[in-house]
Structure 1
Amino acid sequence: MRIVHVEDHFDPSAGYQINELLLASKNFDDDVYLLSSTDMSPFHKLYDSKMDEAYEKKTGVKIIRLKVKFRMSSRIIMENYSKIIEDLNPDLVYLHGIGDFKDLVLWRKKKPYKIVRDCHMSWVASRNRLRKLYYIFFRLFFANKINNTNKYEKVYALGLEEWEYLNRLGVNDEKIQLLPHGYSDETMYFDYSSRVSLRKHYNINENEILISYIGKFNMYKRPDLILKMVEQLLLYNNNLKINLLFIGSKEPKYMDSVFLPKYNQLRNRVNIILDDAKEYEELYKYFSTSDICIFPKETSLSSIHAQVCGCKVIMENHKSNSERVIDKSTLFEVDDLEGASNILMNLIENHNHDRPDFIKQLKHLEYKNQFNKIKENL
């Protein structure tokens, strides 16, 4: 089968769903292409063809980069991308994301190949103040085409909230199929040797608990709230031994005005390690080193990765998080920092050195299984 993925923006070094699906495709006998733009601005990078070449060698996927012909906010049209798809003569075209210019294909003659779409958007991440007008617009111009034709074979929802979002856009349940976010067992797994070496690097003993945040530092993700949780714990037990590890890209304004003032207040009472962002393929080492991971706001794919590596995960009780977190007792109600602190204290007090094995419950999310599901259901 010849499969063409179309993603407006693609970073070969990232760990998004598109990256993992492409990596999983090398385990099958398909001829796989990716069409994307040369625009790397969403990743705050410049395009580097050597990164594509390394990714092609690793996965067997052929990457075709196109210039941006037209842009409206974050939505783009790539030069000649429709013609290039036609020239490739694919069996399947996977258009990643929904609600952009690629949906204009619904207003054209049905293509000789099958087309699938997916939806990454969940309520917790939907912040556009004009979103209600957008829902009406999409229902009027696109949803009927999706529901009443076979121009899209399926629209994949990457979670239950994404399914609800598609419903709000007017897409009928019959057209939607669940294809949850997942992980690759080639890039995410527990590694004991990394745990030993990194704990030595950070000067943390094996019998000590390491609490980590691995993600973006900004006002949406709010890792500073972890410092507030720990501060509450110290009110009850000032002698509590706590190690905190923070890893990720840092937004300067957020760091200066929000995170660092709290960090400076607590740094003499708690062992806090601030480290730089790491390459995605190195993250399994840091999850393996950690015992508890906290993602205090919204949702994060890292919650799946942390559990695959044997970490307990503390998150807000959103529907998306409830889908991903195996131990539901570690979910706290939105903005309930006291509840989150109580969960953290309970995990610390009941900690043992046998890492939880969540793999059996998460195995269906492994991306080779996901890729196989896509092919079987066409």
Structure 2
Amino acid sequence: MLLRRAWAEINLDHVAFNIEQIRSILPPYTQIMAVIKSNAYGHGDRRIAQLLVELGVTRFAVSNLDEAIALRHYGIIGDILILGATPPEGFGQLAAYKITQTVFSPEYAEMLNQYGLDYQLRFQVHIKIDTGMHRIGFSYDDLDAMKKIFAYQGMIIKGVFTHFSVADQLNLADRRYTQMQVDRFDTCLFQLRDFPFGMTHAQNSAGIVNYRDYTYDLVRPGVLMFGVPSGEIQRDLELKPAMELKSKVAMVKQVSIGAEIGYGRDFTAERDMRIATIPIGYGDGYPRSVSGKGARVLINGQYAQLVGKVCMDQLMVDVTDIDDVQVGDTVILVGEDQGKSISLASLSELAGTITNELLCRISARVPREYVQQVKQTQETQELVKFEHFLRNS
């Protein structure tokens, strides 16, 4: 009997290891602001946030108001920054849940300030500066607009930040572009030196690793915490992938030469074959786009290649050359088994996307199961709290 059709196994010890690796390359004054948007990149925001608190992380960033409120409901009491826009109808909840909002344009800042004045509120905000991403943010050369909001009585400035657009690329042109963004940001900070702008931050996951000389008060690791950074990074930082995606064999059947397998009859058996059906598909987040591209899974420590199209709820693999495959055998779609592995990076390359997207695609019907062998002792927790006190004193 198949009690679990598919699941994501999250190794919390690996997340803790990655956090310590990140801290090892930071100056002692630089704190982590953990980015756990999109359900902590598919790893489960509730359990990941709780673990990070155990590890001494007290600052978090999310994409939107709903994600921020969810963290409050989980008992997270640290600072939470919303990186994107909150619509005016959500302004009251920003105050009610003590959530910090990004302001990214003169118009948005004025609107938030006016709400604060109307309801006698004072919002905590970070100023977003656009230094070259051209997404959201005050233009780096519009210093008058930025200086103006320091006088607003409906908000208090707690930080200023930017975002690197090509920190995950190591070619010369992109490195120069990132340097240009750094120079623009530093110039803004210098021009704002007489204003109380609070904490500074710029580095995303790739920026933490590739641009270690440019750390500010905070860094914003996201997917780096889960050991699967996208793009190009310097490889001297050891990381451990936190997630493995698993399923179980649902059926094994014999097909004859010439059998046409799957939707569209895309695969034709060139010999008598044994086909195993695995109960996971694109409805679970496994990418349909890898169909016909040589994607593989691991069964009993052996590679088995996909045949036919990935379906919504199932996929098929060739197990002709794997001995004794049985219903209920564990299938590794991402992860390791008996010395062999399938990385998320290799799967994302076949899918024509990035690791971040594949992680975020894993749907809610795939349960997250957490593995943790190294428990935080009371002594360790007290030490982490003491180190956090020193960083903030």
Same fold by TM (over 0.5)? no
TM bin, normalised by shorter chain, reads 0.3 to 0.5
Q: Tell me which protein shows more helix as a share of its residues.
A: 1
Q: Tell me which protein shows more strand as a share of its residues.
A: 2
Q: TM-score if structure 1 supplies the norm length?
A: 0.37
Larger radius of gyration: 2
Q: TM-score if structure 2 supplies the norm length?
A: 0.36
